[in-house]
Amino acid sequence: MDLMHLIEGAMASPLIYPVILVLALLDAFLPIVPSETVVIAAAVFAVSGVPSLPLIIVMAAVGAFVGDHIGYGLGRLLRRHGRPRRLAQAVDRIAPHLHRRGGALILAGRFIPGGRTAIVTTSGATGYPLARFSLFAALAAVLWAAYSGLIGFVGGAAFESNPALGLAVGLGLALAITVLGELFRYVRARRRPAVAEC
């Protein structure tokens, strides 16, 4: 049995939904977990109707939302019992921005590799209001889940007869968008000091 048959079998199993939920949840405080990759892969195969794209998106969003709150809770716990040096440095660096434009940071952090973990933990560690955090975390979770699901579905639809190629295209699109976003942030950060010097 080849790898594609194994992947197809896994994607057709009803277990894919709880797997997506758990991986999206764990990704909040373990950024090495490949939640986005699994959501995109499942969505590639959703072109055939199994698994269900709406259910993939719902499970990913619920997992991300719950995971964000676990990360927030960990930040709160660390705040009460003393913060490790690295977290204290991150809190000091992010806290002023978080309390000025927290919503934008929570939304953007969801799409930056490692950013989600830093933002949700720092939100809890700085005492960012839970009600506001929950609102923006819900919006970020839905946007991320829909984005990941639709990227995979587009890749799968474009290459319906070749799921492996659809998977490669879906993952390639997500990687390209991430790289372009990081490049934009880098260029913008480099230009800011140059503008300040003028």
Q: What confidence tens digit (pLDDT) does each residue in 92-124 have?
A: 777 788 878 888 999 988 888 778 888 898 899
Which pLDDT band holds residue 1 (cuts at 50, 70, 90)? very low
Residue 130 is part of which domain span?
A: 3-197
Q: What is the pLDDT of residue 181?
A: 65
What pLDDT is stored for residue 78 in this prediction?
A: 83
The pTM assigned to this predicted structure is 0.82
| 116, 31 Cβ separation under 8 angstroms | yes
Chain-centroid distance of CA 151 in Å reads: 13
Burial (Cβ within 10 Å: 0-12, 13-18, ≥19) of residue 26: middle
**Tokens, residue 43:** 């969505």
Both tokens of residue 72? 């927030």
Compute CA 111 distance to the chain's CA centroid, rounded to the nearest angstrom: 5
Between 89 and 138, the higher pLDDT residue:
138
Residues 6 or more apart in contact with residue 101 via CB below 8 angstroms: none
Residue 32, SS3 per DSSP = coil
Query: Over the stretch 6-61, which tens digit does the pLDDT of each residue have?
Result: 777 888 889 999 999 999 999 988 888 889 889 998 998 898 888 999 999 999 99
Length, in residues, of the chain = 198
Looking at the predicted structure, is the pLDDT value of residue 189 above 60?
yes
**Into how many domains does the chain fold?**
1
